[in-house]
Amino acid sequence: MTQKMQYPLKLNQAFFAQVRFERIPKMPEAFEVLVGVQAKIVDKRFPEVLEVHLRVETPDDQPLMMQIVVIGIFGLIKGASEPDRSIIQGFAVERAFPVLWAYMDQMITQVTSQMGMPPVRLVSPVEFSYSWPVESSSST
């Protein structure tokens, strides 16, 4: 007997849709990076495809400014039963956002380390602010 998976979706592709970094010429020795984190779920082709966007952006008045958007394309695992739409929110919070956050964190760390400053590491948000559904097949 096969056990039904709670989230029968896997990451098929992840890519950066926007990457922008800017810093002041003379960086202070110590500074704090304030960021806003947003997420968006596009479920118009669910369950075959679930698109999850994760955005990190700083206010314009900081020594380091950045805008980064990573998009994850998740698909139904071959042979898995089609899930109900009710799993989308749980999947996004428990699986998609943490996976995409790892991509985001790696990009920020690598780029800032190449900008002549100590690498910036962001703490994973405890809670993500997101909108859902955005482009749902059920919307008119």
pLDDT digits (tens, 9 = 90+) for 71-99: 999 999 999 999 999 999 999 989 999 99
pLDDT at 3: 59
Tens digits of residue pLDDT in 32-85:
888 988 889 999 999 999 999 999 999 888 999 999 999 999 999 999 999 999
Distance (Å, whole) CA 104 – CA 56 = 8
Residue linked to tokens 């698109």: 51
Query: For the whole model, what pTM was predicted?
Result: 0.86
Question: CB under 8 Å to 24, separation ≥6 — which residues?
Answer: 63, 64
Structural domains in the chain?
9-118 (3.10.420.10)
pLDDT band at 133 (very low <50, low <70, confident <90, very high): low
pLDDT category at 116 given cuts 50, 70, 90 is confident
What span, in angstroms and rounded, lies between the C-alpha atoms of 50 and 45?
Answer: 7
Q: Answer yes or no: is pLDDT of 132 > 60.
A: no
Mean pLDDT across the stretch 109-132?
81
| Tokens found for residue 26 | 């003379």
